[in-house]
């Protein structure tokens, strides 16, 4: 059954996201994709409310597997961008948040990889991710509409504290986070009951968010509480999934941290000697946690450090090449151009002239 309100066009409220979709659809190559995304009003405005920083170094950069999205406001709603090629723009990486995220499929379906497992949500279904959970956004296909509700920890706790009929699993979800905010990785999936009311409430939340006035925060809080109540108590099922750090996950964090600190002069042998791991075990751990080979992972690390330095430093290209640990300048240019479809100098000029 189609639960979409025929008199309401949700996408009208996300003008910048829709314009970006149209821009990306006209791009002929990866170079155009980069320019369209980074020069779009969508990117410029989202950066004011959300940032990306590295867990270990606090450098604001898109970083393989350990990047964290930082919410600078109490509440934000994002529309999922529909374009399979957007994965080329450093969005499709594993990441986590410093906030709660509620994913709701308004129309169609949506899949996401959570700690290595593909989770698919159908129309009307939802998922709440806690701030620690590792996940990877799979590109949204045409015909699907997915919303991402982002809550600061303070705002989420504030809302839930007013929720007097909280479902015991949602209550457990919150208490787990309050008890140990660093170790618990968990999410909740709400399986649908063909509930028309959920789409109607989502529409009300979107309208209230984009047309604020006196009392908007109270109205939003009330609507969100009602939304959570329907998801928790009127849906067919509510599944709470919790992960604790495994020994392999802990090993990966140690390996990744060492790589971060020694990227300019890194090798399997150095990692093995420092951390007392067998070189073959290092390969296995990286593959298990990233899906990449050791060589692919190191290449991504070096290139993303290069991107950060091109954007945020005045180092010469030659010095950047040394910083990321390359001796052969021609080889660096080759791998950089293969990845980003432009030279390092072109990338730097694009940012400095237009952002």
Task: Report residue 64's pLDDT band, with 50, 70 and 90 as the boundaries.
Answer: very low
Lowest mean pLDDT of 104-113, 165-174, 206-215, 280-289, name the range: 165-174
Q: Is the pLDDT of residue 91 over 50?
A: no
Sign of CA dihedral 289, 293, 296, 301: positive
Distance CA 295, CA 348 (A): 26
Fill in the DSSP letter of residue 57: T
The answer to whether 175 and 130 are in contact (CB under 8 A) is no
H-assigned helices in the chain: 15-25, 30-38, 41-49, 153-161, 168-179, 196-210, 216-233, 247-261, 268-275, 279-290, 294-312, 317-323, 329-340, 344-354
Q: Which residues pair with 109 in a beta bridge?
A: 122
The answer to whether 109 and 121 are in contact (CB under 8 A) is yes
The answer to whether 136 and 112 are in contact (CB under 8 A) is yes
Q: Is the pLDDT of residue 136 over 50?
A: yes
What's the pLDDT at 58?
33
Instruction: Find the angle CA(157)-CA(204)-CA(193) to the nearest 5 degrees.
Output: 80
Fill in the DSSP letter of residue 203: H
What's the pLDDT at 84?
63
Look over the chain and give the mean of its residue pLDDT values, rounded to a whole number: 82
What's the pLDDT at 67?
66
Instruction: Find the angle CA(18)-CA(23)-CA(29) to the nearest 5 degrees.
Output: 140
The more confident residue out of 326 and 30 is 326
Lowest mean pLDDT of 87-101, 119-133, 255-269, name the range: 87-101
The answer to whether 83 and 139 are in contact (CB under 8 A) is yes
Domains in the chain, start-ordered, CATH in brackets?
Answer: 68-244 (2.60.120.280), 247-353 (1.10.10.60)
What's the pLDDT at 24?
86
Q: Is the pLDDT of residue 201 over 50?
A: yes
Task: Report residue 78's pLDDT band, with 50, 70 and 90 as the boundaries.
Answer: very high
Q: Is the pLDDT of residue 30 over 50?
A: yes
Fill in the DSSP letter of residue 85: G
Q: Is the pLDDT of residue 202 over 60?
A: yes
Query: Beta strands 95-97 and 67-71: pairing type?
Result: parallel
């Amino acid at each position: 059954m189609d639960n979409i309100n025929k008199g309401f066009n949700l996408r009208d409220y996300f003008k910048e996201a829709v314009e970006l979709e149209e821009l990306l659809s006209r791009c002929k190559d990866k170079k155009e994709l980069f320019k369209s995304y980074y020069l779009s009003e969508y990117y410029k405005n989202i950066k004011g409310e959300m940032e990306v920083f590295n867990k270990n170094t606090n450098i604001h950069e898109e970083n393989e597997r350990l990047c964290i999205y930082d919410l600078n406001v109490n509440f934000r709603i994002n529309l999922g961008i529909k374009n399979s090629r957007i994965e080329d723009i450093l969005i499709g990486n594993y990441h986590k948040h410093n906030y709660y995220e509620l994913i709701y499929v308004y129309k169609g379906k949506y899949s996401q990889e959570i700690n290595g497992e593909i989770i698919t949500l159908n129309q009307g279904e939802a998922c709440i991710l806690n701030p620690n959970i590792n996940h990877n956004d799979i590109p949204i296909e045409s015909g699907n509409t997915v919303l991402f509700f982002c809550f600061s920890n303070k705002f989420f706790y504030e809302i839930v504290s007013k929720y007097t009929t909280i479902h015991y699993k949602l209550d457990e979800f919150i208490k787990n986070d309050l008890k140990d905010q660093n170790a618990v990785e968990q999410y909740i999936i709400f399986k649908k009951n063909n509930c028309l009311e959920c789409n109607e409430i989502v529409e009300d939340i979107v309208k209230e968010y984009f047309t604020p006035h006196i009392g908007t925060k109270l109205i939003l809080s009330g609507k969100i509480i009602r939304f959570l109540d329907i998801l928790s108590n009127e849906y067919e099922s509510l599944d709470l999934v919790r992960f604790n750090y495994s020994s392999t996950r802990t090993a990966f964090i140690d390996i990744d941290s060492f790589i971060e600190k020694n990227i300019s002069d890194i090798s399997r042998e150095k990692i093995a000697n420092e951390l007392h791991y067998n070189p073959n075990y290092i390969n296995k751990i990286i593959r298990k946690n990233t899906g990449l080979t050791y060589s692919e992972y190191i290449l991504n690390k070096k290139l993303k450090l290069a991107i950060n330095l091109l954007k945020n430093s005045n180092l010469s290209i030659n010095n950047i090449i040394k910083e990321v640990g390359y001796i052969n300048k021609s080889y660096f240019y080759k791998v950089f151009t293969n990845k980003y479809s432009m030279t390092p100098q072109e990338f730097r000029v694009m940012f400095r002239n237009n952002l």
